[in-house]
Amino acid sequence: MVNKNVTKILIGFVHELPEKLGKTVLIGDREVAVFKLSSGRIRAIENRCPHKGGVLSEGIVSGEFVFCPMHDWKICLDDGKVQEPDKGCVKSYQTAIEGEEVYLIIEE
């Protein structure tokens, strides 16, 4: 069995996160794009597009997807997968909401 280190980091409060707009969160040298969807769910993915490094927190959110602001690649906010016809993946992170507090869960 592989033991994973799990870190839980407070990244903000539900009411502060604008709906369908990304927020960039810096955790050490890691940049994470955090989104509050219209459903109220929170999603977090690596902030750099695998195509040419577009900043995903500046992308347009539609449903469970974000469109990269540079060349419009469509990336799933659930699992970080780039949608066809493009290919690739960004890291996705789990989040947790406790009351008003939003946490990022990092497992490694």
State in angstroms the smallest separation of the CB of 82 from ligand FES. 9
What is the DSSP code (8-state) at residue 101? E
Choose, by CB under 6 A, the member of 68, 76, 90, 104 that binds ligand FES. Answer: 68
Binding of ligand FES by 70 (CB under 6 A): yes
Between CA 70 and CA 86 the distance in angstroms is 14
Residues forming a β-bridge with 27: 30
Indicate which single residue of 25, 49, 61, 104 sits in contact with ligand FES (rule: CB under 6 A). Answer: 49
Min. distance of Cβ 100 from ligand FES in angstroms? Answer: 32
**Applying CB under 6 A, which of residues 20, 51, 81, 91 lies at the interface with ligand FES?**
51
Give CB contacts under 8 A, 24+ apart, made by 22-25: 22/56, 22/57, 22/58, 22/59, 22/61, 22/66, 23/57, 24/55, 24/57, 25/104
Residue 33 is a binding residue for ligand FES (CB under 6 A): no
Is residue 87 part of the contact set for ligand FES (CB under 6 A)? Answer: no
